[in-house]
A and B are shown apart, each in its own frame.
Chain A
Amino acid sequence: MNRSAKFLGLALAVTILQSCASLTLENVDFTWPVESVITVSATNTIEDGRYSLVCNVAPLAAKEFEDSTALRGASLRLLRNPEGYYFLTGPKFKHVYVFTTGVGELSMKSAIEVSQTGLVAPKLNQRPPYIELLDGNNQRRLLTKDEIVEEKK
C-alpha cells in the first residue's frame, strides 16, 4: 500500500514535470529591423542600448585577428535574424559570425567566410529569410545561419 502510494506520487511528479518542460511558444519572430552599429569599448565590450545586449568580444577578436585587443574602438555590425541568430561582423573581418543564445552566453553557430582579404565597410540588412551583407564596391551576399546562398557583384 505504502509502496503503491510512493509509486503513484512519483508518476504524478513525472507527469507534471514533463508537461512543464514540453511548453513551447512557437512562431516567435526575433527580427531586428535594422542592424546595430556598436563601438567596442576599451574593456572589449559592446553594448546595444535598444535591445539591452552587453557582451565581451575579446574571444572574437582573438579568433578573427589572433589578438584579443584588436577590436578596441572598432565599429561592429550586429543584426538578429527572424530565427533569433545573431550575425556579427566588422571592418577587416574575413568572416560573418553567427551566434545563438545560451544561458548567459552567445555561442558560435558558424563562421561564414565572406572575404579573403577582409571586409572594407560591411553593412548588414534584414532581408527575410536571409541576412544581406553589403560591402564596398557594391558587393552583395545573402546569408543564412550556415552559408552564403547568393553572391552578386
Chain B
Amino acid sequence: MAEKKKAGKSSKSARKAQSPAKKSPATKKRSARSALATATSASKPVDERIQAMTEAPLAVCAEDESLQKMLNVLRNREEPIEVRLAALQSLQAASFAVLAFESCRADYIATLRELVEDPDPELRQRVLGILARENDGFVQKKLLEGLKKPGKALVPPEKALQLLSYDVHSEAYPIAREIVKNPPSSEAKREALRLLSADPAAVPVFEKILRDKDELAELRQLSASALNSLRPEKLQEHAREIVLDKNEYDDIQAVSLTALTTLGDEAEVTGDAELLKRVDALKGEKSTKVKKSARRFLEKYGE
C-alpha cells in the first residue's frame, strides 16, 4: 500500500515535471533574468547557454544593460557561433512583442546592420533576412549591389532575390529580368521569376516560358500562377491552347485544365466545342493527374 502510495506520488511529481509549470508573470521575469545571466556568461558551457537563450527573450528588453549584454554576444566573433545564433533567435523572439521592444529596436537594428558582412554565412543570411523583412534600405542596397557585382555578393543570387522580393518597391525588377535572360543558375532563374510575378511588365516573359516546352515544368507552372495573378485572361487563352496541344506534357496540361476549371469564363468555355471534345478525350487517356483534372473540368462545363 505504502509502495503504491509512493509510486502514485512519484508519477504525480513526474507529471508535474513534464507539464509546463504555471508561473506568475513575476516568476517568469525572474527566471528569464536568471536565464539571460547564464546565456551571456562566457564561462558557462555552450549547451547550457543555448538552452538559457530560449528562456531569455522576456528579459532581453527589460533593462538597457541586459540588451547590451545580448547584443555584445551577438556581435562578438570570438563567441561560439551556436551561441551567437541562439542570441539572434532570442532577440528576434523578443522583438515580436512590438510594444515591449520599442526601447530596444534602434540598437537592435543598428547591431544587425553591423553583422551583414559577418564571416559566418548562416548568421549573415539570417540577419539579412530579418532586415529585409523590415524593408531596410541599407540591406536592399547591399543585396542589389551583390546582384550587379557578384564579387560583392553577401548571399547567393537566388537568396538575394528571395530577400528583395519581400518589398515590392525594392527596385529589383530590372535586375531580375536580366537574371531570367542570363541566369547564373536554375535556382536564380526560379527566384527571379517569383520576384517578377508581381510585375505587370513581365507578362510577356511568363507567356513565353509557359508555352516553351523546353523549360522546366516548375518554371512553367510558376509562370501560369504569375499570369493568373497579373493577366487571368491571358492564362485562359494559353491554357486552352495547351489543352488542345496533343504533344504537351501531362503536368502542364493538368495545370491548364485546373486553370480553366477555376478561372474559365463559363459561357465561353461551354460554347467551345473543340475544347470540350478534347477534354472529353483526355478523360479516358493519359496520366491520373490529367484524368482527374479533365473529370473536374467536365463536371463543371460538360456532360
A, B bound = no
Q: Which residues of A contact B (CB under 8 A)?
A: none
B: residues with CB less than 8 A from A are none
